[in-house]
Chain A
Amino acid sequence: MKIEIQLTHEPVLEKISPPPSIGAHGAWLEFRGVVRGEEDGQTISALEYEAYPEMAEREIRRIFEWLAAKYPCLAAKVIHRVGVIPVGETAIYVGVASPHRGEAIALLAEFMDRLKQDVPIWKRRAIATDLVGRVTPCAPVEARPASPTLKSLDEAMGGIRSRCLPLPGLRVPLAEAFGRVLRETVCAPEDLPDCDRSTRDGYAILQNDTSENFQVVDTLHAADWKPRRLKTGETVRIATGAPLPGGNMRVVMQENVERTGDRIRILKRENALNLRQRGEDVRAGQTLVPTGERLDAGKLALLATAGCVQPLVSPRLRVVHFTTGDEVVPPDQAPKPGQIRDSNSILIRGLLQHFPCDVVQTHLPEDFERAKTESRKQKAEIENANVILVSGGASVGDKDFARPMLQWLGFEIVFSQVNVRPGRPLIFGVDGSRMAFGLPGNPLSHFVCFHLFVATALAKLVGEEPREFQRCALAAHLEDAPCPRETLWPARRDSPGLHPLRWSSSGDITCLAETNALIRVPANRGSIGAGTEADFLPTNC
Chain B
Amino acid sequence: MRVLFFAQLKDVTGCDSVEIAPASPLDAEQLWAALLKEFPKLAAHRPSVRLAKNCEYAAPDVVFAANDEVALIPPVSGG
Interface residues of A (CB under 8 A from B): 33, 49-52, 54-56, 58, 80, 91-92, 112, 115-124, 141-144
Contacts and interface: CB of A to CB of B under 8 A. Distances in A.
B56 interface: yes
Interface string B56-79: 110000000000000101101111
A144 B6 contact: no
Chain A CB within 10 Å, residue with most, of B12, B55, B79: B79
A112 B77 CA distance: 11
B76 A58 contact: no
Smallest CB-CB A-B distances: 5 pairs: A121-B78, A122-B7, A55-B55, A143-B11, A123-B77
Given A52-B6, A120-B78, 8 more contacts: A52-B55, A55-B73, A80-B79, A118-B57, A120-B73, A122-B6, A124-B7, A141-B11
A139 B77 CA distance: 16
Contact of A52 (B12, B71, B77, B79): B71
B26 interface: no
A449 to B, nearest CB: 23
A123 B78 CA distance: 6
Contacts of B7: 50, 122, 124
Chain B CB within 10 Å, residue with most, of A50, A80, A120, A144: A120
6 contacts: A52-B71, A55-B52, A116-B77, A119-B78, A120-B52, A142-B11
Contacts of B77: 116, 121-123
A121 B76 contact: yes
Contacts of A115: 78-79
A354 B78 CA distance: 36
Interface residues of B, number: 18
Contacts of B1: none
Contacts of B79: 33, 80, 91-92, 112, 115-116, 121
Contact of B56 (A58, A91, A112, A116): A58
B11 A144 contact: yes
Nearest to A33: B79
A115 B76 CA distance: 9
B30 interface: no
A264 to B, nearest CB: 70
B14 interface: yes
A233 B77 CA distance: 74
B59 to A, nearest CB: 14
B78 A92 contact: yes
Contacts, number: 64
A209 to B, nearest CB: 63
A116 B56 CA distance: 16
Given A122-B6, A124-B7, A51 B56 contact: no
A357 to B, nearest CB: 33
Given A120-B6, A120-B52, A55 B71 contact: yes
Contacts of B52: 52, 55, 120
Contacts of A117: 76
Chain B CB within 10 Å, residue with most, of A33, A55, A144: A55
Contacts of B8: 143
Contact of B78 (A49, A143, A144): A49
A503 B4 CA distance: 37
Contacts of A58: 55-56
A105 to B, nearest CB: 17
Contacts of B78: 49, 51, 56, 80, 92, 115-116, 119-123
Nearest to B52: A55
A18 B9 CA distance: 38
A92 B77 CA distance: 12
A330 to B, nearest CB: 44
Nearest to A155: B16
A58 B73 CA distance: 14
Contacts of A52: 4, 6, 52, 55, 71, 73
B30 to A, nearest CB: 22
Contacts of B71: 52, 55, 120
A119 B52 CA distance: 12
Contacts of B4: 52
A195 to B, nearest CB: 48
Nearest to A144: B14
Contacts of A123: 77-78
B36 to A, nearest CB: 18
Interface in B26-69: 52, 55-57
A56 B55 CA distance: 8
Nearest to B71: A52
A91 B77 CA distance: 12
Contacts of B56: 55, 58
Nearest to B55: A55
A51 B7 CA distance: 8
Nearest to A60: B78
B64 to A, nearest CB: 15
Given A92-B79, A116-B79, A143-B8, A122 B55 contact: no
